[in-house]
Structure 1
C-alpha cells in the first residue's frame, strides 16, 4: 500500500513539472520610479540588487523556480510583493500613494525588514544583503524624495484616502 502511494506521489511530482510559471518580464517602464524621481546610480544599483527580483516587472528567476511546486510558491510570493510595491509601475498611483510608498521603503529598509531574511538565507542572493551603510543610502534617498514631494504638493494631497469596504 505504501509503495502504491509513493508511486502515485512520484508520478504526480513528475507530472507537475510540466506546469511551469510564466517567467516573461514586462519591459514597459512607462511608470517606472526613475521616470519621475532622481535615482543616483548607487541607489539604483542597490535597489536593483536587493529589491527588483520581487518588487519590479523585471525578474531574474533562480534555478529552483523550475521545480514545482516551489516555482508556484515563488511566483505567488513575487505577485504579492508587486501588489505591495512595484518599482516598474510606481508613478502610476496617486502622489499620496507614492509618498506613502517612499515612507514604507524608508521604514522597511531602516528596520531591516527588507529584503526579507529568507531571501538571503543559505547564501542565496548575496548581492541583496545590505550593509548598514547601504541601508543608510537607501533611507536617506527615500527621505529626500519625501521632502521634495512635501515641497511640491499641498499637505492634504499627500494623505491617503481611507478605503470604504
Structure 2
C-alpha cells in the first residue's frame, strides 16, 4: 500500500512540475496609458482613482499587479481566465473607446455592483485586503459613478 501511495505522489509531482512549463501571458501593459484610459477620458478625483486602482484595476484594466502565485500553475491559468472575463465585461484601460450610451450603462453598473457587494469579488478580497471597501469608500465610488452617469445623460 505504501508503494502505491509513493507512486501516486510521484505522478502528481511529475504533473505539477510539467504544467509549470506552460505559462500564460501576464496582463501587464508596462504602465502605458492609452488615450482611452478611464482617468484620461474623465477627470477622476484622486481618492476615487486610488480606490479604483486598488480594488478594480487588477481584473478590469490592461495592468495587473501580479503576485507571487501569478507564475504557479494552475493558479495562473485560473487568474488569466478570471482577468480575461473581467476585462470583457469592463476594461478601464479602454473605457473611452465605447459609446457614450455604454459608458453611462457601465458607470451605473459599477455603482450597482458595489452597492450589491458583488464587486470586488470575495475571492479577490481574500488575497488582497486593500480591496475591502469601507462603507465610506463604497459610498464615494457609488456617488461619483452615478453623478458622472447623470452628467453624461444630460450631455447626450
User: Normalising by structure 2, what TM-score?
Assistant: 0.91
Structure 2 residue 151 is matched with structure 1 residue 148:
yes
Deviation per CA, 1:104-162: give whole Å up to 9, x if none: 101001111110111112xx211111000000000000011111101110xxxxxxxxx
Structure 2 counterpart SS, 1:104:
helix
2:121 to 111, 116, 119: 116
Q: Which runs of 5+ in 1 are unaligned?
A: 154-165
RMSD (CA atoms) = 1.3
Structure 2 residue 128 is matched with structure 1 residue 125:
yes
User: Normalising by structure 1, what TM-score?
Assistant: 0.86
Per the alignment, residue 19 of structure 1 pairs with 22
Aligned length: 151
Q: Which runs of 5+ in 2 are unaligned?
A: none
Deviation at 1:24, TM superposition (A): 5.1
| Aligned 8 A contact 2:20 2:73 in 1 | yes
2:67 to 54, 62, 66: 62
Give the whole-Å Cα distance in 2 for the aligned partners of 1:133 and 1:24.
30
Per the alignment, residue 35 of structure 1 pairs with 40
